[in-house]
Structure 1
Amino acid sequence: MTAVAVRPRSLVVLAGLPGAGKTTLLAAADTGGAPAVVLDSDQVRAHLVGIVPRAVPYRCYRPVVHLLHRTRILWYAITATRSLVLVHEPSTRPTTRAGLVVVGLLTGRSRHFVWLDASPEEALSGQVERGRLLNSRSFARHVRRATRLRARFASGHPPRGWRALTVLTRRDRLRLSVAAA
């Protein structure tokens, strides 16, 4: 179990390639008893599956899932005043990371970036296991961006605007230790 020190009310983003294992890691995360809101786009998807007709393929309503997921991130960052906000988001796009930084700044939350480092082969295997494959072009874009991030993270530099960086592997488990502000 990897202990990660975070401040109270932090915005903790668990990022990595699609299929890397973020959902699994987040579901098993230990907050040490600190109140936390866990936000995963799979929660939105699962809710919409009960609403959207079965004949509609996921690719058709995926943009709605992502819009609602990001809206929930903003909502809980504003309203969960006494809780950590743990977010599942690939965050390979600089604009996504910047948007999350802005959310943290506007809501007065310390920002901690956790990168789940998985090879493209491991991530693709994870997609196969969950039964949801990204199209090859989209996945290739994630891989290209992730390769640049991995090089930066290997030197211990967090993304711009983030207070701290923790790099985990698929074998790690996450425990958040809330430190004094």
Structure 2
Amino acid sequence: MTAVAVRPRSLIVLAGLPGAGKSTLLATADTGGEPAVVLDSDQVRTRLRALFPKAVPYRVYRPLVHLVHRLRILWFAITASGLLLVHEPSTRPSTRAGLVAVGALTNRPRHFLWLDASAEEALSGQVKRGRLIRSRSFARHVRRAARLRARFAAGAPPRGWHGLTLLTRGDHLRLSVAPA
């Protein structure tokens, strides 16, 4: 069990390579009884899949999934009173900057969790869940993740984040809310 101290109303982003195990880790996260909203793009994907005929491939409505997921992040950052746990690869600097902006505009402390997994482990996770991302897209994630990993090894959180916690695929997450 990896305990992570966060402040009330924190925006907690669980990031890492696609297939690293973010959804699995979020599904088992212990918030210590604190109210929390968990936002995973899989929630959106599942709902939208039910609206489209089975013959429509995911790649067709993937942009809509990402748009709705990000709109949900903004909505719940504004309206939720408790913790906000967000699943987002966040290897792209613009994604991290957008999440920082949402946190700052909604007065939420920001904590960045990095689920560290090798490219091989993440690819295996994609195969296991039966949803492979395009090889060029995955290669870009892997390159950006390598740069982040080096920075995180030094204990430096991404710009605009109040905290950084490194996790592995074997970790179990427990959040504890510390007084503001």
TM-score, scaled relative to structure 1? 0.99
| Whole-angstrom CA distance in 2 between matches of 1:52 and 1:109 | 35
Give the match for residue 77 of structure 2: 77
| Aligned equivalents of 2:146, 2:128: Cα separation in 1 | 23
Counterparts of 1:74-153 in structure 2 under 5 Å? 74-80=74-80, 82-153=81-152
Task: Report the count of equivalent residues.
Answer: 180
2:60 and 2:136 map into 1 onto residues whose CA distance is: 17
Inter-partner Cα distance in structure 2 for 1:23 and 1:17:
11
Identity %: 79
* Stretches (4+) displaced over 3 A: none
Unmatched segments (≥5 aa) in structure 2: none
Amino acid of the residue matched to residue 85 of structure 2? Answer: L
Mapped to 1, the partners of 2:178 and 2:118 lie a distance apart of 32
Residue deviations 1:122-179, cap 9 Å, x none? Answer: 0000000000001100000000000000000000000000000000000001000000
Q: Distance in 2 between matches of 1:160 and 1:20?
A: 23
- Give the equivalent residue in structure 2 for 1:168: 167
The letter for the 1-side match of 2:66 is H
Shift of 1:19: 0.1
1:34: how far off? 0.2
Q: Tell me, what secondary structure is at the counterpart of 1:104?
A: helix
Aligned mates of 2:133, 2:46 — CA distance in 1: 17
**Where does residue 66 of structure 1 map in the other structure?**
66
User: What's the C-alpha RMSD, in Å, of the aligned pairs?
Assistant: 0.3
Give the structure-2-normalised TM-score: 1.00
The residue identity in structure 2 corresponding to 1:138 is S
1:45-64 superposed Cα distances (whole Å, 9 cap, x missing partner): 00011101111100010000
Using the alignment, how far apart are the partners of 2:41 and 2:134 within structure 1? Answer: 18
